[in-house]
Chains A and B, each alone.
Chain A
Amino acid sequence: MKAFWREFVRNRSGVAGLAVLALMVALALLAPVLTDRVGLDVTRAQFPRWQPPAADYWLGTDHTGRSVLLQTWWGARVSLTVGVAATLLSVGVGSVVGLAAAHFGGWLSGLLMRVTDFFLALPALVLAICLSTVLPRGIGTIVLAIGATAWPATARLVRAQTLAVEARPYIERAKVLGGGHLHIIGRHVLPGVFPLVLVNTTLTVASAIIAESTLSFLGLGDPGLVSWGSMLHEATLHGAVSQGAWWFLLPPGLGIVLVVLAFTLCGRALETVLNPRLRVS
């Protein structure tokens, strides 16, 4: 573990990504403490509409007279929650499918990989759009739509890694010694697969956050919640480009870029550390 950390710290961009992430998560968690939620309520909006940044509202106001800074701050909570929840869902499903396909083999493996390949081939956004259209609108649907389209990549990865691990001689020995499926998976396979899953998770969060913003931008988000994507949706709907309201467009977009980039950098750093082939020789 210590060695891992020492290795990770040597990757400067990875550390930068981790620092940004820590800051973002801390800010998002502290939002209820540091700010007042009431400012998100349109009926209590107290500022003039479409105001450029000023002392009372550091990032200006939107079409209803709410502070853009406050929305961006609270939007981080929703965007991060959706990103993480969708990732957990997809990584969970993907890992189970991948493990099962590799470990049990036979017709089950064939079937599972057939299904995986099918979903892998479908254009993810199109499927997510279709799912969000037919299901009731809400944060649960968004999580489901993104999770349901992101799992096949994980499944493929986990399967490949599981096969590699299970080909090692000590697994054979464990089997001969009478280790059950649970024992083998729990004691030998999971530890071998975990590093890859971790890398994959970090990268999946990044794309899940972009997917959330895209779906919300297309008007398929949860109308009751402020997320970065829904802010950009409102901005287009109410004419931010015409108004020249750059202060309404930049913060949510930059928020997405920062978080996604941070996750990606972390993921790449992890990969470099965990995958010696990529390490500078």
Chain B
Amino acid sequence: MVTVRISRWRLGLTLGALLVAVGLAAPAVTTAAPTAAAQGGTVLRVALTKQVDSVNPFLSITQAGTELGRLMYEFLTTYDAKDQHPVPALAEKWETSQDKLTWTYTIRSGVRWSDGQPLTAKDVAFTFNLMLTNDVARTANGNFVANFDSVSAPDDRTVVIRTKTPQATMLALDVPIVPEHVWSKVTDIAGYTNDTTPVVGNGPFVLTEYRANESIRFKANKDYWRGAPHYDELDFVIYKNADAATQALIKGEVDLINRLGPGQYDSLKNAANVTLNPAKGRRFNELLFNPGAATSTGVPIGDGNPALRDVKVRQALAKAFNLKDIVSKVAGGYAEPGGGLIPPVFVSYHWQPDASQARSFDPAAANRELDAAGYPRGAGGIRQGPDGKPLTLRLLGHNGTAFDEQTAPYIKQWLSDVGVDVTVQLVSDSQVNEITSGGKYDLAFSGWGANPDPDYILSLHTCSQRPNADGKGGTTDSFLCDPQYDALYTQQLAEFDQAKRAELVKQAQQRFYDLAVGVVLDYDNSLEAYRKDRFADFQVQPDPGGVIMAQNGYWGYYSARPVAGAASSGGGNAGPVIGIAAGAVVVLAVLAFLFARRRRATSAERE
């Protein structure tokens, strides 16, 4: 065998190369220059557990991204903190023409952009016209301008918007207004990340630093037209899971967190200096029954079980579900049992069946009604249809969605108790959409987050939302097509009197409830917590019982006040010293040991 000698320097070279690679990587993460280090100021640190897709307000579609947009850019109108009715923001007043097609907004004077330029009606018109002319700019909020005919600014304080048909959401235009003098220079909206600081805005906070996947920093806008926020800096720290965020709150690394699971929330009950906020949320979960899917031209599609076309069967099945159990067992008690489509957080539009109308949990009644509907029990206790086949239903849900995964066994159990066999199919989100939009389901989980304006949620159940003749382009949720429901929907859309509109909205929800094409299972609470030793006076929306984060507005962050005497910066400052010291000791010990051995070896060699 040939003797092989690899000189030590070659090995050293290899290791050295690896170290150099590391060394090159290190500056890449450490030297991104922060622009505004608010030394000594008060900082509100917020944990974000949801992805921020973009801080370009025209592109951001995730809730977290939209929420950051609300801090940077003001809207024409915003939603009141107490009851979420539209209140003036950039538009101090407005009027509509007789035919409800022309809206004239008067823009507040004296508002300035964060770079000192005055904000005028021209900026507003520019924003809307950009969306009308550029399809990429319509990515996030295109639905608000789809019905717009024209937008103009006859003078610096007036904006005139003409719509093609009357539009009820004209005081709920969730479109951030951007500065024309910045955005007119942007040629490629899709490629514009909008994170080159300072980002010119007009909201209560100004974006000063954006580190993707790490943190997003804002400084208080001292010239904000409502008055400067009560603290200096607002930092969002990104965590991948609620557990990590919970730990960070306990350790004092962050001051405010939301989207807690029941487990994390309960674990904070005994934590020192933490206040909990079990807020009402805007999300609901529902279970859909396929009522006989069809295209907008009425041609049946899909392969839904024919038994579900019978409204009596659907109503009977709905009585088999114990909604209180879902609240207590799946949601850990942090939810409310379902009723109408609009969650109770929207007080004026929410509808809950009264005792005479409500379908309470009653398996005996469900059994009776299914017998009467022509589905007697057959072999093995499974009901049989008129065709003699056992009544077996597929239950479709999203894998990876905790609610679907946890609720599916309950639904299966409850339906089995009334003689209906269920096979559970949990598939990816896009497959759920594919299957449901093709009508190839019997039972399916669905869920929505409602907006202060009920239009969108209600529109999901109208005839016209069903797919076109080719079976494409459907945006229906339930494949419902009911003349009475459609009539109520159309009427509420054209009704500009709030009280009357609310009444129509409730009637539509009642109709949906009676037809039982879907059962609203529960309204999730939005679980939040904050450090009471650091900040106080968070304005919730709605008040009382509402959320601090994920509002339809900026009230929660804007109103917060630092607690007197609180440390300017949370925990984690003693930590590094201890950690580094410990690390250094270990490294030194290893080096010393190695060195000692080496010495011994060399001395042996010298002998």
Contact = CB atoms under 8 A, between A and B. Distances in A.
Interface of A: 41-43, 45, 49-50, 63-64, 133, 136-137, 219, 223-224, 236-244
Interface of B: 241-243, 246-247, 250, 260-264, 266-268, 329, 332, 399-400, 402, 405-406, 409-410, 413, 424, 426-428, 431
A62 to B, nearest CB: 9
A133 B424 CA distance: 19
Given A136-B427, A219-B400, A239-B242, A41 B409 contact: yes
5 contacts: A50-B263, A223-B399, A236-B243, A238-B261, A241-B247
A240 B399 contact: no
A243 B261 contact: no
The 9 closest A-B pairs by CB, nearest first: A239-B263, A239-B264, A242-B267, A43-B413, A238-B263, A242-B246, A242-B264, A243-B267, A241-B243
Nearest to B242: A239
Contacts of A43: 409-410, 413
B332 A239 contact: no
B246 A42 contact: no
Given A41-B413, A42-B406, A219-B399, 4 more contacts: A50-B263, A223-B426, A239-B246, A242-B243
A6 B263 CA distance: 53
A237 B402 contact: yes
B22 to A, nearest CB: 20
Contacts of A45: 329
B409 to A, nearest CB: 5
A195 to B, nearest CB: 26
Nearest to B413: A43
Contacts of A241: 243, 246-247
Nearest to B417: A43
B261 A237 contact: yes
Contacts of A223: 399, 405, 426
A243 B266 contact: yes
B329 A42 contact: yes
A50 B267 CA distance: 10
B267 A238 contact: no
B423 to A, nearest CB: 10
Contacts of A219: 399-400
A224 B397 CA distance: 12
A136 B424 CA distance: 13
Nearest to B426: A223
Contacts of A238: 261-263, 402
B267 A224 contact: no
A63 B246 CA distance: 17
Contacts of A41: 409, 413
B263 A242 contact: yes
B97 to A, nearest CB: 53
Given A137-B427, A219-B400, A242-B247, A50 B261 contact: no
Contacts of B399: 137, 219, 223
Contacts of A224: 424, 426
A239 B241 CA distance: 9
Among B247, B267, B332, B424: residue with most chain A CB under 10 A: B267
A45 B332 CA distance: 14
B267 A64 contact: no
Nearest to A42: B409
A240 B264 CA distance: 8
A236 B402 CA distance: 12
A239 B269 CA distance: 14
Contacts of A242: 242-243, 246-247, 250, 263-264, 267-268
A236 B260 CA distance: 12
Nearest to B402: A237
B270 to A, nearest CB: 10
A236 B413 CA distance: 26
Contacts of B263: 50, 63, 238-240, 242-243
